[in-house]
Chains A and B, each alone.
Chain A
Amino acid sequence: MTRTTMKGLLLASSILGSAGLAGAQDVTLTIESWRNDDLAIWQEKLIPAFEAKNPGIKVVFSPSAPTEYNAALNAKLDAGSAGDLITCRPFDASLELYNKKHLADLTGLAGMENFSDVAKSAWTTDDGKSTFCVPMASVIHGFIYNKDAFDQLKLSVPTTEEEFFAVLEKIKADGTYIPMAMGTKDLWEAATMGYQNIGPNYWKGEEGRLALIEGEQKLTDEPWVEPYRVLAKWKDYLGDGFEAQTYPDSQNLFTLGRAAIYPAGSWEIAGFNTQAQFKMGAFPPPVKKAGDTCYISDHNDIGIGLNAKSPNAEAAKTFLTWVASPEFAEIYANALPGFFSLNSTAVKMTDPLAQEFVSWRDKCKSTIRSTYQILSRGTPNLENETWVASANVINGTETPEEAAKKLQEGLDSWYKPAK
């Protein structure tokens, strides 16, 4: 009963909404998105740039709250009232929309050739045949540090695991700063900024990630347990009461200058630039031994696709081709430092911190977060379990081996790798 009412309401609103536009000759494209933070950037920079080149096509950016986006989008798509362009979450959430035929196949779209396979992996079917969203941006993990604090304590940027802990030890011995700002209360910090940040160096990025999906490696294997062992050592260098420290607490500790190192995702850059009153630098996750190949988590985070039922498919494709162009990449990456373009053409960025992050792409090998593709489809959910396990390991309530064993058992209970 409630569902039909909902449909009726949505239908009514879409008919009424489009009735007003019927008189205009221009085609109007609506973009569904969860990035309401980006509203100003779209309205002031991206849309005018597109409209100037494509007269006759108007674009409206209509975001909703991030936590409501998936549910609201599904309801709108089922009711047939969703916008023409759909901002895509990475991996399974969007794959499900494609399988339900809500998203159109974009494999042959002009401009798709600008992206590598890894860039497209988040929005490609398991067999790799069809791509259904244009990759927009990724986020890179690493460590942001307080340059003033490092100068004051005469520290140099660590490149190996050993140097990393030596630096932490020195900051701790000095006592002016909390060595590292991270908490385990919100769980995901421990997994995302901890395990997924340093992990790729141990499981060798894509190599380990794909081996895990194919069943050749297990989470109980050394490359997957070792990052947990390293994480367990972080405990001594976190602030007092880190067990109850939340994500905003960590951000504030760092930007107020009370902590020296912050395990980061590049999405922090814009916020930190406005908040922090000191100079900042960044370094990639330290490798085990000097000279080892470094791996970074360069995680596909956001893409854009075409609503399969859009009446303006041609205009929408023109827009998507523009999104795939280097021009869009440059405007987007500079307006949102920390969200890096996935375009194969190198983008010029002005923000020094963002430049530092993106420079790692040249010297290190990129991978995505290990739990996102395929492995988090079942119950128990590997990503959520990894949050809990990482927090437990740092809290010291579970040993790295126990945590790994539990994760593997959970995965084994539903995941059968294709042989």
Chain B
Amino acid sequence: MDEIALKRPRRWHILVFLTPALVIYTAVMILPLIETLRQSFFNTVDGEYTFVGLGNFTVLFGDPRWASDFWNALRNNVVFFLIHMAVQNPIGIALAAMLSVPKLRFNAFYRTAIFLPTLLSFVIVGFIWKLILSPIWGVAPYLMDLVGLKWLFAPWLGRPDSALIAVSLISVWQYIGIPMMLIYAALLNIPDEVIEAAELDGITGWSQFWKIKLPLILPAIGIVSILTFVGNFNAFDLIYTVQGALAGPDGSTDILGTLLYRTFFGFQLQLGDRSMGATIATVMFLIILAGVSLYLFVIQRRMRRYQF
């Protein structure tokens, strides 16, 4: 009797609650991912679809044309990411810091206004900015003319040396709301007691931000960085709408996402190549995996956390 009473009831509800998410996630994420990884080891040889081992990777890294396309895309992607890290995140932190100043009026308005572009469709953002920067009808050359800076204007999106920077900054403009909101939330989480204690010790103003608040929001900055990393190495949509699938001029805005799209689905007369497309997707997966692992196992463990 006692034994039966001690047996814990089966907790069916755990399974019931997990199943829907597990099924959907498996169907739309895990299975396609495995299928992509599998496809990267197969290719069509003499009309037969066969296992080629690492053959596709040898072509991607060994063939001078594939390799130059790939390294060009990777380099551009790194630049794209670095611009986000150097511009988007510091400005996001600064905006959050300003928003959290208690005396600020119209706080909610600023917050909404700055976050709004993030909610817009990337297609709209792409077209708006293409029009703003258009040398023919754009509002940018007109406004710059008003303040006598017309000579500074150039068809940025059409020049190989400035196109990538321009597109990156458009993306920064669109997504600046995300680091701002995450860090704003982290700043609000800092208890008033800590701030008061700091003030009693004579730490105010800038030094308060650097010495008290920044260390406390470092975990949030870490999360923002990793989100930026994953988002940037998966990026495709904005480049596609602003610069097209060939990511011109002269491939100067070609990132891994657009290279993958062209290879996998084909473009104009170019027929799609699923095996090479899957190979590029696999390499992208490995790059993102490496970045996330580095963060999880090295950086996050060394980060000091404070409990209040």
Contacts and interface: CB of A to CB of B under 8 A. Distances in A.
Interface in B257-280: 265, 267-271, 273, 276
Interface string A382-397: 0110011001100101
A244 B244 contact: no
Interface in B226-258: 244, 246, 248-251
B57 interface: no
Contacts of B75: none
Contact of A384 (B133, B157, B250, B269): B269
Contacts of A243: 155, 157-159, 249
A292 interface: no
Given A384-B246, A410-B65, A184 B158 contact: yes
Interface residues of B, number: 31
Contacts of A291: none
Interface string B115-151: 0000000000000001001111100010000000000
A381 B267 CA distance: 9
Nearest to A186: B244
**Interface SS of chain B:** loop
B271 A383 contact: no
Contact of B270 (A185, A187, A384, A392): A384
B65 A92 contact: no
A187 B136 contact: no
Contact of B248 (A187, A249, A371, A380): A187
Nearest to B32: A2
Contacts of B276: 379
B249 A249 contact: no
A371 B137 CA distance: 34
B269 A376 contact: yes
A245 B135 contact: yes
A241 B271 CA distance: 33
Residue in A71, A380, A395 with the greatest tally of chain B CB atoms within 10 Å = A395
Nearest to A369: B269
Contact of A379 (B137, B159, B268, B273): B273
A413 interface: yes
Contacts of A241: 134-136, 141, 154-155, 158
A392 B246 CA distance: 13
B249 A184 contact: yes
B55 interface: no
Interface string A167-194: 0000000000000000111111000000
A388 B268 contact: no
B155 A242 contact: yes
Contacts of A93: 269, 271
Contacts of A188: 268
Interface in A329-385: 371-372, 376-377, 379-381, 383-384
Interface in A211-270: 239-246, 249, 253
Contacts of B269: 91-93, 371-372, 376, 381, 383-384
Contacts, number: 104
A1 interface: yes
Contacts of A187: 244, 246, 248-249
Interface in A390-409: 391-392, 395, 397-398
Contact of A244 (B27, B155, B270, B271): B155
Contacts of A239: 135-136
B251 A388 contact: yes
B162 to A, nearest CB: 10
Interface in B139-179: 141, 154-160
**Interface SS of chain A:** loop
B31 interface: yes
Contacts of A186: 244
Contacts of A371: 269
B135 A388 contact: no
Given A371-B269, A383-B268, A383-B269, A244 B248 contact: no
Contacts of B133: 244
B248 A388 contact: yes
Nearest to A91: B269
A380 B267 contact: no
A383 B155 contact: no
A177 to B, nearest CB: 14
B65 A380 contact: yes
A89 to B, nearest CB: 9
A188 B248 CA distance: 11
A309 B141 CA distance: 57
A383 B136 CA distance: 28
A364 to B, nearest CB: 25
Contact of B250 (A383, A392, A410): A392
Contacts of B156: 244
A241 B154 CA distance: 7
Nearest to B161: A397
A397 to B, nearest CB: 6
Contact of B158 (A245, A377, A381, A398): A245
Residue in B133, B136, B276 with the greatest tally of chain A CB atoms within 10 Å = B136
B263 to A, nearest CB: 8
Residue in B244, B246, B270 with the greatest tally of chain A CB atoms within 10 Å = B270
Contact of B136 (A245, A372, A391, A413): A245
Interface of A: 1, 71, 91-93, 96, 183-188, 239-246, 249, 253, 371-372, 376-377, 379-381, 383-384, 387-388, 391-392, 395, 397-398, 410, 413
19 contacts: A92-B269, A96-B271, A184-B158, A185-B248, A187-B249, A239-B136, A241-B135, A243-B158, A243-B249, A244-B158, A245-B134, A245-B158, A249-B137, A383-B269, A384-B267, A384-B268, A388-B248, A392-B249, A395-B249
Given A71-B265, A241-B154, 20 more contacts: A1-B27, A91-B269, A184-B158, A240-B136, A241-B155, A242-B135, A242-B155, A242-B158, A243-B155, A243-B249, A244-B156, A246-B130, A249-B137, A372-B269, A379-B270, A384-B246, A387-B246, A388-B248, A388-B250, A395-B159
Q: Which 9 A-B pairs have the closest CB atoms?
A: A241-B135, A243-B158, A244-B155, A244-B158, A241-B155, A381-B270, A376-B269, A383-B269, A243-B155
